[in-house]
Each structure stands twice: as C-alpha cells, then as structure tokens.
Structure 1
Amino acid sequence: MKIRSSLFAILTLAFMLMFTACHARNTAPLPEGPDYSQNRYWSIRAEKISHPVDVFFVHPTTYGPPANGHFIADLTDKMLNEVTDRDTVDWITAAFSGSCNIFAPRYRQVNIAVMKIGEAEKKRYMETPVSDIKTAFKYYLDNLNDGRPFLLASHSQGSNVMQLVLLDNPDLLDHDKLVAAYMPGWTFTDKDLDELGLELSESPDQTGCLITWNTIGPGGISPTVSEGAKCVNPLSWNTSKKEFPASMNAGAKIFISPEKTLEVKHFTSARINNEGALEIPTPPENIAKQLNMSLGKEVYHRYDYDFFFHNVAQNVKKRCEAYLNKK
C-alpha cells in the first residue's frame, strides 16, 4: 500500500511539473506598461472641463479568447484599442458624459481565459491590471482632477480591478470627494463594503455610496455572482427585494453591433433575488435572439448598463446635483 501511495504521489508531482512547464512555455512575456502622462494610454482623457464633476471609468474585459499564451493585453494592439473604445468605453461612458468629465485609462487587462484557470494563477495575472489602474488613478488624482468631486464607474473585470485597488490601498479614496461608485458586473460582499468604508445605495440621491448589480434571467447562473453578493436595483436605487415594474425603466440602449442599437422604453422589470443577483424576465424573443449570451443562458452580464442605460444617466445627474447642492 505504501508503494502504491508513493507511486501515486510521484506521478502526481510529475504531472504538475509537466503542466507548469508547458504553461510557462506557452506564456508570452509581459507587455510594456503604460505611462499615463501620455494621451495614448487613455481611452478618454477629458481635455475640455465642462462639468463640475468627473468620472474615472475602468472598462470591462474586451480581450477575449483565444489567448494563445498571451494572457495580458498589449497596449500597442491598435485593433483591440479601437474596438475597446468604440464598442465599450464610448458606449458605457455616454451614460455619464451629460454630467461628468470622462477619464478612462487603458490598462493591461487579462484575457477572459484567465477566469477559467486556478485561483492562485489567476491572482498572479491580476496583479498587472491592478497595478496599472492603481497607477492610473493616482495619476488622475495628482494631475488631472484639480480638486473636483468625482464618481467611480466600472464593469466586470474593471469592477474587480477597482475593487482590489481600493481594498489594497484604502487611503487612495477621498470619501469626501466621492459622489458615488457605480461598479456593476462583479460581486461585492458585506465584508468588502465594510473594508471599503462604503454603504450600498438606498435612495436615488444618496451620495458617497456604492451601486452594484449583476443581471440574469430566470434560472441564470452568472460567474460574477459569488456567495454573499450584494445588489442595488437600478430601477429603485435601493436594496429592496420587491419587484419593480418595467414602467420605472426609463429606457434600454442595447448594443448589438457598431451599426445597430436597440432603444426600448420601459424595457424590463427587475428584482433582487435570494442569491444577490438582479433578476429580470426573459426579454422578448425578437430582442433575445440578437443578444450576446457568451456567459450562458439567461446571463445578461454584457447588458448590465444597456438594459438600464437611461436610468443610469438620469441617476448620475441626480446624484451629482445632490452632491453639489450639499456643498
């Protein structure tokens, strides 16, 4: 029995070493890091300051598979930058641009394939985007903000990265200047909120709070919803678990392709379910068949902002006004 156990241990170790070596051979060198004093390392860097409030926006994953060993995005990849700007950064920040000056850094995001590897390996890869966004946020505060109040905004990987930056560097965030933090597409727990020193939104004009949600349909299982996930309903802007009607939906603005957008007033109702996800009814078939469902059936992660686009835009305006009226 001892011989069999020893043989099993030796074979297991050999397999692990072989896997590690193979993985190392297929992993590309780390791409060069950003210099945020240069405009080319910003998707948007407001040159004309036309609002009394800024937003610092961290975009979601736009670097998809196959990774082919390149698990960290190269910031000199012009096509990736163009698609990121056009299909994601410009799209989401349009909900904020009516009220805020936009500052959206580029960063060495991880490929979506990283989300499928082991936690230890994932943590190692995440060090790069976290380092970039920490540097970008510090540069923004020291050189671009000029003392203005600001919002934080993000989605998906961007929310995860910003969460890690703030958890690891709590002194970076000036709570007195924070209007609100819109960070959907990732899990925030009570422990996270306590360590961040932030409360969830409980009213549409509350300031200094955090707003997060993860959109699914009936039976949807989202990989971004973990145990203990908290949620704010973007129809009511509170944590009530009652269902709020589609009549409260000011309008969806749904990205289908660079050439096609769907604008749908009163698009959907929404409620917070027992797992802390934002649950909506399955969209009408004529719309559902056009959606990107890459994360699984009834997982509307890609559309966290889209389905509530005009509610977000209206709410950003309301919170900015509430903050400025207090000063």
Structure 2
Amino acid sequence: MCTNRLKSAFVALSCVCASLFFGSWDSDSQSVIGPIPPSPHYDDPSQWFIVNRQGEADLFYIISTETGDHMIGSDTCHFADTYNAGQRGQMRIEMHAVDSFYSGKLNYYSPYYRQVTMQSWSSPETALARLPLAMSDCVRSWDYYIKHLNQGRPFILAGFSQGAHAMLEIMKRMPDDVADRMVAAYFIGYRITKEDTACCRHLRPACKANDTKVSICFNSVKTPECEIPVVSAGNLFCINPINWRTDTVGASFVYYDKEHQNDTLSARLDPKSKLLLIGGYKNDEPMPVIGIPGNYHHMELRFYYPYIRQNMADRVEAFFNNRTK
C-alpha cells in the first residue's frame, strides 16, 4: 500500500510538470526580473511542509522547479507566489512525495520559496539572473529552521536541481557549530564545482556508504554526451547511489515503476565526466525546456529512492555512533 501511494505521488508530480511545460507561454520581451510576489515569512506555518515524527534527526529538503510563469496584474511573473494556494499545491506535490519516499523515521522540513519558474530555464542565463531572489528565501528559511525548529538535532540537508543550488548558498554561510551537526548533504541532480569548493569549506565528497559530514552528488545520463551543462558541467563530486562507490564498478538496481514492471537497470560512474551512466532504460525522450535525449535529470528522484532512503538511515546511525566514541 505504501509503495502504491508513493508511485501515485510521483505520477501526480509528473503530471504537474507536464502541465507547466506545455501550458501557455508568454513570449513578450520584458525585463529579466519583472514583478515580484510577496516575501514568505517563515514564522507563518503556511510557508512550510513539516512532518514531526519525534525523530532524533531531521531531513531539510528544498524542492526543484515546480511552478510556471503566472500573471500579476497585466505583467508576467517569473517567481512562485508562496501565498497562492494553487502554486503552493504544485510545490506541495514534490514535498509530499519526497517525504514519503525518503524520510523514513526522520523529521521532515521543506520550505516554500519564490523559486524561479520553469519557463525561465529556456535561457539558463536568464534563470541564473533571477536565482538570487529564490536563493535568499531558501537561506532565510534555513536560518529560521536552525533558530526555531531544529532544536539542536543532527540533520540531513537535501535538494533536487534548483533546490540543490540553494543548498550551496546555505552551506557557504553555515557556521562550524551547525556544520558539526550535519549528517550529510544530498545534492540530487546537480553539480559541485571547483569554484564551489573554493568558497565553501564544508563541501567534502562522500567516499563510501556511511561516511558523515560529506556531500553526495550524482547526475544520471545514458552517455556523457547527454549532459545538461547547467546542472552538471564542471562537476567534481560523484558517487554511485546504488553501491556507494566512487570507482567504475557498476551496480544493477530495480527501478520500481508500475509502467515499466520494475525494470532492472544498471548504474556506473564515469570518472572523466563525473556522470552516472545508466544502462537498460529505454525511454530517452527528453524532458521539455532544458532536456537532451538520453539525459535522465527528471528521473533522479525516482530511480534511486529505496537506496537513498536506506542510505540516509545508515548515515544517521553512523553519525550517532561516531558521536559516542
């Protein structure tokens, strides 16, 4: 029953993404930024998706791009409105799905934020110019979480795509006493570059299944030529989320999907490109807007969730074991 509920959640997530991709497109030439929605206040419970399981550790998760352009008056807005119930509903689908798939016994915290809309990514330069507003919300939500919600517990920091970019901004500002409580950081479907490591001392690559205070990073493709530069170019960190190795030893895994009858696929790390090469997946149709045939960016949350959920639990256990030594 649980597995069916999780599958349904991700089916709904896919439908929302498709409606955004293929919905009406505003092509007029306006300023890069445009109108800005109200700033979220993180002392307002409506600006959070929270599941308190009375656990000993937390999962703080930042969602990917789930909203599209919308109108404020007669102008097109390129940022999510976190006080708009419809747009919160679109973001909530991913929040709920990730909690269901990944949290296990962890307490779960996910903030709504004025994310850059999907249409913005048709020009990566435009999207990156808009990102500072979205990132400032994520940093503020993190600060509120640490001061008012975390209560000194160990935590996992995780994000997907745009959400993983926000993790970098959070970790660059993270003081040492807070970083000491970080079990691990999961950069799902995003990159960690030389420039990132130069300005963030807390970025250390994961090397095995149970090291702690490390960063887990992977980007899935059929071949290196299928890379999407905006999410993976220049990446330094990569670990195989099936066997938790950083060499070329591959591993088979089951993709739990009703349509594909739980296909068995394979994952192997390419040391030159720092990409995860996936074998056996037959659907190479690209995701809209930024997609490339054979790039599986849109599958990162779905391919590996049983393995990552167990790995999160294993790393939390290792963190507590290390603290008692």
**Cα distance change, pair 300–133 in 1 and its aligned pair in 2 (3 A):** same
1:70 counterpart (67, 77, 82): 77
Aligned to 1:281: 279
1:123 Cα deviation from its structure 2 partner:
4.2
Worse-matched range after superposition: 182-191 or 208-217 = 182-191
Q: Give SS of 2:304's match.
A: helix
1:195 counterpart = 2:199: yes
Offset at residue 279 of structure 1 (A): 1.2
Q: Would you say how many aligned residue pairs link Structure 1 and Structure 2?
A: 288
Amino acid at match of 2:135: V
Q: CA deviation at 1:235?
A: 1.5
Question: Which has the larger Rg?
Answer: 1
The residue matched to 2:30 in structure 1 has which SS? helix
The one-letter code sitting in structure 2 at the alignment partner of 1:163 is: L
Aligned positions of 1:203-222 closer than 5 A? 203-218=208-223, 219-222=225-228
* Residue among 40, 46, 50 paired with 2:46: 40
Q: Please tell me whether the aligned partners of residues 268 and 307 of structure 1 are also in contact (alpha carbons under 8 angstroms).
A: no
Q: Distance in 1 between matches of 2:190 and 2:250?
A: 22
Whether 1:130 aligns to 2:135 is yes
The equivalent position to 2:30 in structure 1, one of 15, 19, 23, is: 23
Give the counterpart of 1:114 among 116, 120, 123.
120
Corresponding residue of 1:4? none
Aligned residue type for 1:181 = A
1:97-246 matches, cutoff 5 A: 97-117=103-123, 119=125, 121-167=126-172, 169-171=173-175, 174-197=178-201, 198-218=203-223, 219-223=225-229, 224-240=231-247, 242-246=248-252
Distance 1:138 1:27 in 2: 25
C-alpha separation in 1, matches of 2:80 and 2:237: 30
Tell me the equivalent position of 1:271: 269
Identity %: 23
User: Residues 180, 116 of structure 1: CA spacing in aligned structure 2 closer, same or farther, 3 A cutoff?
Assistant: same
Give the structure 2 partner of residue 15 of structure 1: none
Q: CA deviation at 1:252?
A: 2.9
Are residues 201 and 76 of structure 1, via their aligned partners in 2, closer, same or farther at CA, if it must alter by over 3 Å?
A: same
With structure 1 as the length reference, what TM-score do the two structures score?
A: 0.79
Letter matched to residue 175 of structure 1: A
Task: Identify the residue that residue 257 of structure 1 maps to in structure 2.
Answer: none
Report the Cα distance in structure 1 between the residues aligned to 2:122 and 2:57, rounded to whole angstroms: 38
Q: CA separation in 2, counterparts of 1:84 and 1:180?
A: 24
Check the 8 A contact 1:166/1:173 in 2, yes or no.
no
Q: Distance in 2 between matches of 1:307 and 1:173?
A: 34
Q: Distance in 2 between matches of 1:182 and 1:131?
A: 20
Aligned equivalent of 1:293? 287
Q: Deviations over 1:69-119 (max 9, x none)?
A: 311111133222222212x22222323321310000000000123334373
Runs of 4+ residues deviating >4 angstroms: 65-68, 260-263
SS in 2 for 1:274: coil
Report the equivalent of 2:314: 318
Amino acid across the alignment from 1:319? R
TM-score for both structures, normalised by structure 2: 0.80
| CA distance 1:79–1:153, change in 2 (3 Å) | same
Whether 1:303 and 2:303 are equivalent positions in the alignment is no
